[in-house]
Amino acid sequence: MNSFWHSGLALAALCCAASSAEAGCRVGAMPAGAGLASWYGAEQGRRRTASGEAFDPGALTAAHNSLAFGTMLKVTSLATGRVVLVRINDRGPGHGRLIDLSEAAARRLGTRACGLASVRIEQVRVEQVAQVPEGDLR
């Protein structure tokens, strides 16, 4: 019975891993410098962010617990390999997550369908951001 129980757990883990991978999600073991990201969108309405600006789910912004407002981050999805630049304008997340992304940022990463996605974040210098096409920072 014990081996049957372990086999069932292994099968469940494989099924979950496959469905997560299909959605562009990966929440398994992560390398150093990586963590979990979630996203928030229209359900937040036009509420004020911790920085004082109105939340816009269409903007490429994010919430982080300690980085200064205005900090630019390169966020890379470990599942899809896609990259997006975001600006920190809010505080959060909680519950063991590294960052909360706007809906637009999650869409660019290909992780919007995920509740959680594994990402790596890197701070970007202002001169690096100046080289990015204007449409990539909306």
* CA distances from residue 60 to 5, 33, 91, 107, 114 in whole angstroms, order as listed: 45, 21, 15, 10, 17
123: helix, coil or strand?
strand
The CA distance from 129 to 136, in Å, is 10
Tokens of 136: 């990539």
Please check whether the domain covering 2-137 is classified as CATH 2.40.40.10: yes
Q: pLDDT digit string (tens) for 3-38?
A: 332 223 232 333 333 344 444 565 566 677 799 999
The CA distance from 15 to 77, in Å, is 21
Which pLDDT score, from 0 to 100, does residue 138 have?
42
Residue 112 and residue 42 in contact, taking contact as beta carbons nearer than 8 Å: no
The CA distance from 53 to 91, in Å, is 12
Count how many residues are written for the chain: 138
The CA distance from 114 to 66, in Å, is 24
Mean pLDDT for the chain overall: 76
The pTM of the whole model exceeds 0.75:
no
Q: pLDDT digit string (tens) for 79-115?
A: 999 999 999 999 988 888 999 999 999 999 998 888 7
Domain boundaries, the chain: 2-137
Name the band, by pLDDT with cuts 50, 70 and 90, for residue 76. Answer: very high
Which pLDDT score, from 0 to 100, does residue 96 have?
87
